[in-house]
């Protein structure tokens, strides 16, 4: 093996490792910050969760990849655009999950300081928010990796026109559903604050809604 490979391989591995660590840091995986919602809500990244759900659902796959009269090249172009948009959504969901973890830590610390006891009740709002935020954070990162791999697959295989439906579930759990549960908990924290704008701003940034839609 030439000297080139002895040098190139370690350098490439180092670059890949540094890039991966930077990516994890950007998504908030190394953060241990503790902040209240009033300080966090301005950092939330807007996620129109209904738009994301429609973008990645099986119905969209059926329309784009099977029902619409498109050429294979056109289907691939749409697939690439859908993957890019899904990546953008997933990055923002991961960031919001990390920020919600900061809020959960703050709420847990507040509870323990006020009561003098450790929070052991898993169904308590603060503990529930922590669990759901951590799950959303993890699921969004896993799904984001899937989108990068799918993007690579389309480059390696020019005839590939993938479906996106079902790729946003982790261990049988749906990311959209878990994100909605996390939002419910964050909004419950916001509703306990006397500043009304906090609830409204948080709702809009996390969901894109100005009011909770009736189901």
**Helix orientation angle between 196-207 and 49-56, rounded to the nearest 10 degrees:** 20
pLDDT at residue number 14: 54
Considering the entire predicted model, what is its pTM?
A: 0.86
> pLDDT at position 113, please?
92
Give me the residues of the chain with pLDDT under 70, please: 1-30, 214-215
Q: What are the structure tokens assigned to 96, written together?
A: 């919001």
Tally: H helices and E strands in the chain: 8, 2
pLDDT tens-digit map of 8-37: 555 555 554 555 555 556 656 667 889 999
């Amino acid at each position: 093996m030439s000297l080139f490979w002895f040098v190139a391989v370690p350098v490439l591995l180092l670059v890949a490792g540094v890039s991966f660590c930077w990516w994890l840091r950007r998504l908030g995986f190394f953060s241990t910050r503790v902040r209240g919602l009033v300080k966090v809500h301005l950092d939330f990244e807007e996620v129109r969760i209904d738009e994301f759900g429609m973008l990645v659902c099986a119905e969209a796959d059926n329309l784009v990849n099977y029902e619409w009269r498109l050429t294979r090249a056109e289907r691939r172009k749409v697939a690439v655009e859908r993957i890019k948009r899904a990546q953008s959504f997933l990055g923002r969901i991961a960031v919001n999950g990390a920020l919600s973890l900061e809020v959960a830590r703050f709420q847990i610390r507040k509870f323990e300081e006020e009561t003098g006891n450790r929070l052991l009740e898993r169904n308590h709002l603060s503990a529930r928010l922590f669990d759901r935020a951590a799950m959303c954070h993890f699921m969004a990162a896993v799904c984001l990796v899937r989108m990068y791999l799918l993007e690579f697959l389309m480059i390696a295989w020019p005839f590939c026109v993938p479906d996106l439906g079902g790729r946003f579930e982790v261990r049988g759990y749906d990311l959209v559903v878990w994100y909605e549960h996390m939002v419910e908990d964050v909004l419950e924290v916001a509703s306990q604050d006397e500043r009304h704008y906090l609830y409204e701003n948080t709702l809009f940034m996390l969901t894109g809604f100005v009011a909770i839609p009736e189901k």
